[in-house]
Structure formats: C-alpha cells, structure tokens
Chains A and B, each alone.
Chain A
Amino acid sequence: MDLLKLFQPKTMAVIGVSLTNESHPANVIFNKNNLRQQVRVVAVNNRGGELRGEKVYESISHVPGQVDLVVIATKAHLVPDVLSECVQAGAGAGIIISGGFAETGRKDLQDRVRAIATEGGFPFVGPNCLGIYSPPYLDTFFIPSERIVRPEQGKVALVSQSGGVLVDHMVKCAAEGVGVSAAVSIGNKAMVRETDLIRYFSEDPGTSVITFYVEGFDENEGRQFVTAAGECPKPIIIMKTGKTLEGTKAVKSHTASMAGDYAVFSSVMSQYGIVEATDEFELISFAEALSCYPGSIEGRVAVVTGSGGHGALCVDACAAHGLTVPGLDETAQGELRGQVSPVIQDIASFRNPIDLTGSSVDDDFAAVLRYLSRRQDIDCIIALLLPYLPGISTDLGARIGMIYQQEKKPIIAYVPHVEKYWMLIEGFMLNDVPVAHSVEDAVHMAEALKRHRSW
C-alpha cells in the first residue's frame, strides 16, 4: 500500500464543501489548506459555483490534472458513489472525514466503501476521522486554524484511533517543544490501519519515533501490529484504553483467567520492545526521550545534581522504575574530584549520585558530564540542572548538548521552570537532550530508553 500521496500530495480535492455554510468541516479544510499549506487545493460540490472567489468543481472528474488526494466530507450515504468517481478519475488516495458508518451500526456501508477502494487499489484513511496533519503539505483537521495549537515540525509521528485525543496530544507536544512529523486520525480504520502506518513511517525519513493511541485491535490484528513493529527500526510508543473491558464468558482454565485481554496486550508489547505509556504525559515524555536517543540502554544511570535532595529523590525514583544508580569506585571518584573547581573539591560528593553542591559552576557540570559520558559502566546520565544556583548560566544547555553530540551517551536534563529558563532549555533540546520538568519525569524518560528494545 503506497501511502505517500496521503502525506505529501501535490493536489488535493475537498469533496462536499458547502456553498452556504462557512463552518462546514469541508469548508474549514478547504480554507486552511488553501491559505496555509503547500498542497494545491480545489473544492468540489455537485452544484458547482464559487467559494471565496475560487471555482467549485461539480465533480472530481471535472478537476483538471492529476488529483493525488481527495478529502471526502459528504453525507455517509453518498460516500460509495463519490469514492467510485474518485477511483475512476484516477485519484491517488483518500481521506473520508464523514461519520455514519460502523460507529453508528452501518458496518454494511463501511464494507461497501472498503470493497470499492480495495478493488480500485485506492488507499484511504477513515471514515469517521479528522484525517492527516502533515506539515508543510496538508492539514485536514476540521478545526479552524486559530483554535488549534500546532507543534513545531519535528520527528515524532502520532497515530490515533480518536481524533479528539490526537488533538490533545498535539497541544501537549507543542507545550513540551516536541516536534511532530505527522499526525493521523484513523477513525474507523476501514482500510489504512496501524500496521500500514508502522510500515509507512518506518520508511519516512522525517520520522524517528512513532506513537499510537489504541482503543482496540480486531481479530489477530494485535499479532500483525507487533510483527510489523518488530521489523521497524524506529522506537514505537503505545497508549491503550479500554483496559478494564474483559469478556464476561465463564472462564474454566487458570490460564484463560490469568491471561486477560489487557494482561496479554501489555506483555506482548514489552516482548516486542514497544514502549507502553500509561497516560498522555508519559506518552509525550517517552516520545521526547526516544526522538532524541533512538537506541536502548540497560539502565545504569549516573545522577548529577547541584542539590543533594534532588539527587536522593532521583535515586529513589530510579529504583522504583527498575533503573540502577551504580556507585563509582574510589579511583573514579578521585578522577572526578581532580576535574572540578578547587572550591567544591572537598564539599562535593562523587560516588553517584554526584552532588556538585550549590557552589558549582558551568565548568564543573561540563567536566563531570564529559567524564561520565566516557565511562562504560554508565549508560545514561540524568543532569538535574538547578538554574537558580549563581554559578550556573543559561549557556550550560548548549554546552551539555554539545557533549551529547560528541559522546553520544544519552543525557536527560531536568530544568524546573520552563518560561524562566527557556534559553537554557532550548540549548538542550536543539542538541537532542530531552528536558524533563520534574525529577520523576526525567526518570520516566530514562525508563523509556530501557523499555525500548533495538532489534
């Protein structure tokens, strides 16, 4: 299934625009793409006419030139005929926004639509979805531009069975500075499904992490999903709802009773190195961490801090999340001591957690992080940056970012206040050092690197 035309179309037709109702979803889609996206967009309504000075075509077959993508937002009962016309006109792919299919008991209508598309070799997303946000090419979310918070373009692809949850994830990505390569609302997933999107995004050079919000899989679909995930070289993160829905049938074997739907789901995800997020905050943190560092770690963490209390909090959180904080031997401690400012040599502790104290300066953090990055017994460093210390400057983010770029050992930073220390944070993030806003969150990020398995 070639999905490129869904994500990077040159020409897109929006079918079902209203000539009278400017807030009709099709009109919102037409307008926002016409004004702000790279795709050339044309409007279609069987009555023809004009929309904001642009010609409205009576049918897809009247549109001159090749149409790569059609967005169908007509009433559900019209969709089969509209789709047939699109296939006949040689359009490349489709997005069916319209609702009124399997979700309202009209599985028959959905099956008809799928049959037409399958026969015509015509991939489509939906029905009953928001479609695709793929900057800078297109954005079919029928949410007016001023009402949505758009994340920057980046490396994380978001796939969701729920359009509403997807928009929420985009808002949170924007808030955390996590860039998005594409967001797909797959709705009833009558044709294009999660497994197809794993295959597409694993080939997409703009994507380095794929996240999924899943409500449920169809029969045997979970097996296909993890099999495709096992072949995908990029990290995959999944969040599941409907965990408590269990079959009510009488259970006669111990195995069937202990291997409930969610228990199986969760175990199989981790078997295949797919990182399961329990909520949206974890999902975004995991995506941030894995988009910075796509490898995996065993979980031997060094904690570097300017405050002993933060160090202790972090060590406790590491233990609770299955990570170890191995103590450094006397030799290593001596070497570290020799690299920091004389003023902290006798008051800092170097065993791990490494507490550089409130008298530390940028150079001390840089020296310690460089040293730890080269140690074999440490595979991840959590740097608890407390920018209120007088010796710490906003330049430290970019300096530490550079150490990561040179040494390639994952570093996770914790910075307590986003707005006040934005330049520090940007210095980290522009250099692929993820930034957490709580100690616990920093540990979550390290845990994601451990749970993700490279194949």
Chain B
Amino acid sequence: MVTREMQDILADAREHGWVMEPQAKRFFGLAGIDVPRGGLARTPEEASQIARVTGYPVVAKVVSPAVIHKSDIGGVVTGLANREGLEEAFSRLSETDGFEGLLVEEQLEGIEVIIGAKIDRQFGPVILMGLGGTMAEIYGDVALRMAPITERDVSSMVGGLKGKVLFTGYRGSRPPDMAALTTLVTTFSIIIEEIGDRIDSVDLNPVLCSWKRCTVADARIMLKRS
C-alpha cells in the first residue's frame, strides 16, 4: 500500500522531523484516503486560481515548518467567500515565521473526528479515534486499539465514546457515512503498520464526516527521532 512516492514524502521530511500538512495529505491521498480538493499557493494569484477551481467558500491554512499547531497562532481561516477575503488572508498569514505558502482548499462540512496513531513502546502501533477538532484534548473522548484493527473494532470504538450519539444522528441531523469512516480507519491502520518503524505519531484532525464522505481536513505525521 505504501508507494514509492509515499516513501519519498517520509524521507524528504526527515530534516524537519515531521511531515507538513500538504505533503501529509498527499501521502494519505495516495493511499486512497479522501482529502479535500485544493492546493498549495505561493502567491495571492495562485491562491485565487486554486479557489476558482474548487469554488468558494474556501479554507486557507498557513504552511510553515515552524508551526505545528496552526490554530494556536490563528493560522487557519475558514469560510472565505471571495477573492478579496482570500487575498487579505494571504497577506496576513504570509507574515508567519517560516512561511512557505498557503494551503487553499474546499470548505467541508460534517462532525469533527480525530483519527490518530502512536507507536507505543510496549504495544507497537496503536490507533486512536474520537471526537476531534481543537477541543479534542480538552474532552479526551477517544478510544484506543492496538493495530491491526478490524471493522468490528471500529464500531466498538465508536460505541465506547461518550459522544457516540453524534455518529448515529441527533436532533434530526443526518448521521455520518459510517461505511466511509470504517474504511478510512481500517485503511489508516494498515498504512500505520507499514510505516511504524519510521514514525512516532500521526494526527488526522479533524476528519470531517458528513452523510456523504469522510475527509481528512488536516494531517500531520511526526517522524521517529533518530
């Protein structure tokens, strides 16, 4: 499952110790996992070209090896409805330390899920799933399993969450596509086992799950310290 290009992405990131969002998304996209449409813009013109293709509204995110948690520095701007807004975001975020560009992507909907992996000293590759977003650590509503995990494990992970009702639909909301979520988690588990010797941990956070798709809206891969 791990292609030559995916190997190269991991190898190229060694210098920084982690794989930044555009490359991490490319990595998981190559494995067949759903990632948002969009691209990396180095100039305001490139940004609006990408937005024209994906269609407004768009999300803009700063790309910098110096920034691991983008939200902490206001590095994520959502709901940009037009070219003016996007260019304004570009000019502000281009001031960021280590700025390499702006990731411009389609705006997605759905519940925010975190899917993660960690190479545990005692148990090896471990998969985490739970309620995601910037509040993930505050609520800590997550389930953990040792990889490899099966489809049955995914449903028991969801069933063990305090917020499990979010996955079955509540107050008339349409529930997320559980088949897509299950495939995503089991595919992720297989990839993690294959690259377990090179990584420390992975966050897919948030993964946005709606009734029609489950898409990795942000990803980072922390590499093993050599």
Interface positions of A (Cβ within 8 A of B): 216-223, 226, 252-259, 261, 263-265, 267-268, 271-272
Contacts and interface: CB of A to CB of B under 8 A. Distances in A.
Interface stretch (B4-12, B140-148, B167-175): B140-148
In the A-B complex, the 8 residue pairs with the smallest Cβ-Cβ separation, listed nearest first, are A255-B116, A222-B122, A267-B144, A256-B201, A222-B123, A253-B201, A217-B122, A259-B118
A254 B145 contact: no
Given A217-B122, A222-B123, A267-B145, A256 B200 contact: yes
B116 A254 contact: yes
16 contacts: A219-B121, A222-B123, A226-B123, A252-B68, A252-B222, A253-B118, A253-B201, A253-B202, A254-B136, A254-B205, A255-B118, A255-B203, A256-B118, A259-B201, A271-B145, A271-B153
Contacts of A217: 122
Contacts of A271: 145-146, 153
A254 B146 contact: no
* Centre residue among A221, A223, A258 by max chain B CB count within 10 A: A258
B18 interface: yes
A254 B205 CA distance: 9
A210 B202 CA distance: 35
Contacts of A255: 114, 116-118, 128, 201-203
A277 B50 CA distance: 56
Contacts of A268: 123, 126, 144-146
A226 B118 CA distance: 18
B124 A220 contact: yes
A45 to B, nearest CB: 41
B122 A220 contact: yes
Given A256-B200, A257-B137, A267-B143, A219 B116 contact: no
Nearest to B222: A253
Interface residues of B, number: 30
Contacts of A226: 123, 146
B220 interface: yes
Contacts of B120: 222, 259, 261, 264
Contacts of B140: 258
B152 to A, nearest CB: 11
A197 B118 CA distance: 28
A35 B79 CA distance: 84
A221 B118 CA distance: 16
Contacts of B153: 271
Given A252-B18, A253-B202, 6 more contacts: A223-B122, A223-B146, A258-B128, A264-B146, A268-B146, A272-B146
A258 B124 contact: no
* Centre residue among A220, A226, A264, A272 by max chain B CB count within 10 A: A264
Nearest to A267: B144
Contacts of A261: 120-122
A201 B202 CA distance: 38
Contacts of A218: 122
A93 B144 CA distance: 39
A25 B76 CA distance: 68
Nearest to A253: B201
A259 B121 CA distance: 12
Nearest to B134: A254
A264 B201 contact: no
Nearest to A259: B118
A226 B125 CA distance: 13
A264 B200 CA distance: 15
* Centre residue among B122, B124, B220 by max chain A CB count within 10 A: B122
A260 to B, nearest CB: 10
Contacts of A220: 121-124
A84 to B, nearest CB: 33
Contact of A256 (B146, B205, B222): B222
Contacts of A221: 122
